[in-house]
């Protein structure tokens, strides 16, 4: 099991940095194609939530990512240093078609094999994902199209 720990400041530019570093890690483990895309999408959605809703773009607050990869699965955790993140998740409403936001949680659920939202001891939000390493990733998406 290979384990990676990454910490990012809560500024918009961090998302690009995170995606670049994630790409390098996934390619190192021969994860390409649709699974690579699904993991990148899901982590970017969680990262944006942590950045905007959790840490409220406060550069003094960090976003912490833990990634664990073996031959059968990829597990990821993303934590923010905000407050009441779990309440935000529970209160959220489905977006209107013309809404500019509110689609991230749905995409996380559709493109991962499992997702769990928990609160950290300091009140931040931790989102945990699991992705199965099938020969060719079949996301949950196909049943919705």
Partner 1 sequence: MDFTTREENGVTIMNLEGRLDLASGSALKEHVKKLFEEEKTSIHLNLENVEFINSSGLGALVSTMKEARIRKGRLTLSNLANYVQEIFEITQLSHIFEIYPTEKEAVNSYSQAAVAK
* Binding residues among 100-139 for partner 1 as defined by CB under 8 A: 100-104, 106-107, 110
Least gap, CB of 69 to partner 1 (angstroms)? 20
Which of 4, 6, 21, 34 is the binder for partner 1 (CB under 8 A)?
34
| Shortest reach from residue 11's CB to partner 1, in Å | 9
User: Mask of contacts with partner 1, 53-92, x by CB under 8 A?
Assistant: ----------------------------------------
Lookup result for tokens 């489905």: 94
Interaction of residue 99 with partner 1, rule CB under 8 A: yes
Nearest to 8 by CA among 74, 84, 61: 61
Token pair in block for residue 64: 């912490």
Q: How far is the CB of 70 from partner 1 (least distance, A)?
A: 25
Smallest gap from Cβ 95 to partner 1, in A, equals: 8
Output the CA–CA distances (angstroms, integers) from residue 139 to 33, 50, 80, 95, 100, in the order listed: 12, 23, 26, 22, 24
Q: Which stretch binds partner 1 (CB under 8 A): 63-71, 74-82, 93-101, 117-125?
A: 93-101
Among 31, 39, 41, 65, binds partner 1 (CB under 8 A): 41
Shortest CA distance to 64 belongs to which of 73, 55, 74? 55
As a whole number of angstroms, the distance between CA 123 and CA 54 comes to: 10
Residue 109 CB burial class (10 angstroms; 0-12, 13-18, ≥19): middle
DSSP 3-state assignment of 118? Answer: strand
Which residues are at the interface with partner 1 (CB under 8 A)? 12-13, 15-16, 19, 34, 37, 40-41, 44-45, 48, 51-52, 97-104, 106-107, 110, 141, 144-145
């Amino acid at each position: 099991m290979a384990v990676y720990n990454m910490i990012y400041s809560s500024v918009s530019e961090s998302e690009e940095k995170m995606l670049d570093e994630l790409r390098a890690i996934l390619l190192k483990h021969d994860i390409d194609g649709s699974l690579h895309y699904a993991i990148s999408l899901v982590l970017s959605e969680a990262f944006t939530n942590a950045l905007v809703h959790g840490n409220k773009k406060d550069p003094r607050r960090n976003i912490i990512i833990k990634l664990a990869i073996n031959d059968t699965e990829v597990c990821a955790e993303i934590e923010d240093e905000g407050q009441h993140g779990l309440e935000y998740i529970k209160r959220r409403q489905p977006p209107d078609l013309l809404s500019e936001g509110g689609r991230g949680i749905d995409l996380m659920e559709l493109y991962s094999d499992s997702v769990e939202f928990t609160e950290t001891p300091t009140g931040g939000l931790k989102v945990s994902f699991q992705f199965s390493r099938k020969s060719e990733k079949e996301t949950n998406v196909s049943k919705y199209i």
